[in-house]
Structure 1
Amino acid sequence: MKQARPLPQYLVQRYQGWRATSFTENRSWYRRLAEGGQHPRAMVIACCDSRVHVTSIFGADTGEFFIHRNIANLVPPYLPDGEQHGTSAAVEYAVNALKVAHLVVVGHTSCGGVAGCHAMCSGHAPELEEKTSFVGRWMDILRPGYERISGLPEDRQVAELERQAVLISLENLMTFPFVRENVEAGNLSLHGVLHDIAEGTLQAYDPGTDTFSLVG
């Protein structure tokens, strides 16, 4: 692959710093992880957004979370159509192979993917409507959420759509037979949260009230 290049020097330096400090100080722990395999208690589905650092938010250690990230933290519905499905494959592996006890969907404020979906669905982003747009076709998953919030005042729609990105993903997770089976058997619990980047707060979805409430 002739186009590949060496790592940028700043990444090399950061790696060297990690290797000399965190890794060296916890060498036995990393060896245990390598030899014993991973046994995460939870799977986290989060956005690709570089501002959302889920391990920091929850104070997680190496080996604690099985993490999958994609644009707007979306889970597609169960569609075993022979196509390649990265998110669905990650969910399948987490539930069936790793036997995680919790599956957490982490949404966030100021989400560019959600804003793009809103623009696309409201007719302001025709480039995302093109069949060749990977982002647009991915954000089609959230169209049902847009339909739910399209009647709200315009200044509230994007914020509500960010919540819908969490809810649509939770709903779609329950279309996976192995997820539903484990949830109904009490082996797996689903959770939805929304992280406010500016405030550092976390809101959790309460199905009893159908609302998001501040954690803590």
Structure 2
Amino acid sequence: MEFTRPLPAYLVTRYHGWKATTYAENHAWYRRLADEGQRPRAMVISCCDSRVHVTSIFGADQGEFFIHRNIANLVPTYEPDGNHHGTSAALEYAVTALKVAHVIVLGHSNCGGVQGCLDMCQGRAPELEETSSFVGRWMDILKPGFEAVKDDPDMPRALEHEAVRVSLRNLMTFPFVKEAVEKGTLSLHGLWTDIGEGGLMHIDRRSGQFTVV
């Protein structure tokens, strides 16, 4: 393909370093993963933000998490309209094929996507209002969340938290998720991490508020 280019040298160097150390020391484990297939215990829906390193936060090994990342860790509502739905497809596969026991929505501090939604809702980002903006149309998912917290003085953190709540509510619009939750074979979890402080909060079931883990 004429528009492709060689891999940057620093990535090639890092690969060879990994192959000679981490892989070489654990090659039997990697072979087992390849031969036996994946059996993740949880699906994590997190933001694309490069600062959010899910496996590091939980000290997870390969094969432990089924991870889906998108802008602002959002889950859309259930819409079987025949169009492309990456997040919905990943969710369907995790719940119906892999039979994960947990779905975790992980939000984070200083989220650019959430800030974009905030700017758009406050009239400061006309470019996101354009129908051609993929980011803007994706952030439409969070608009109901903005309405719920628009008077909160602790913005954008309040909207970052609300993004997790919106996604959890939307998860329950998927029939296969709702059925699994009601049967007790699947549990949903809402988390938020502070990048700078390394903190982790979760949604308290009774209060619906975020509390320190």
Q: How does 1:123-202 map to 2 (within 5 A)?
A: 123-153=123-153, 156-202=154-200
Secondary structure, aligned partner of 2:156: helix
Match of 2:74 in 1: 74
Does residue 207 in structure 1 map to residue 205 in structure 2? Answer: yes
Does residue 28 in structure 1 map to residue 33 in structure 2? Answer: no
Q: Deviations over 1:74-127 (max 9, x none)?
A: 000000111100000000000000000000000000000000000001111010
Q: TM-score, normalised by structure 1?
A: 0.98
Question: Structure 2 counterpart of 1:164, which letter?
Answer: E
Structure 2 Cα separation of the partners of residues 128 and 139 of structure 1? 9
Q: TM-score, normalised by structure 2?
A: 0.99
Secondary structure, aligned partner of 2:191: strand
Q: Which runs of no fewer than 5 residues in structure 1 stay unpaired?
A: none
Shift of 1:134: 0.3
* Alignment RMSD: 0.6
Structure 2 Cα separation of the partners of residues 158 and 144 of structure 1? 15
Question: Structure 2 counterpart of 1:28, which letter?
Answer: A
The count of aligned residue pairs is 213
Structure 2 Cα separation of the partners of residues 12 and 157 of structure 1? 41
Match of 1:95 in 2: 95
Secondary structure, aligned partner of 1:157: coil
Match of 2:118 in 1: 118
Match of 2:51 in 1: 51
Identity over aligned pairs, percent = 67
Q: Deviations over 1:13-33 (max 9, x none)?
A: 000000000101100100100
Secondary structure, aligned partner of 2:139: helix
Shift of 1:60: 0.2
Q: Which runs of no fewer than 5 residues in structure 2 stay unpaired?
A: none
Shift of 1:152: 2.2
Shift of 1:46: 0.4
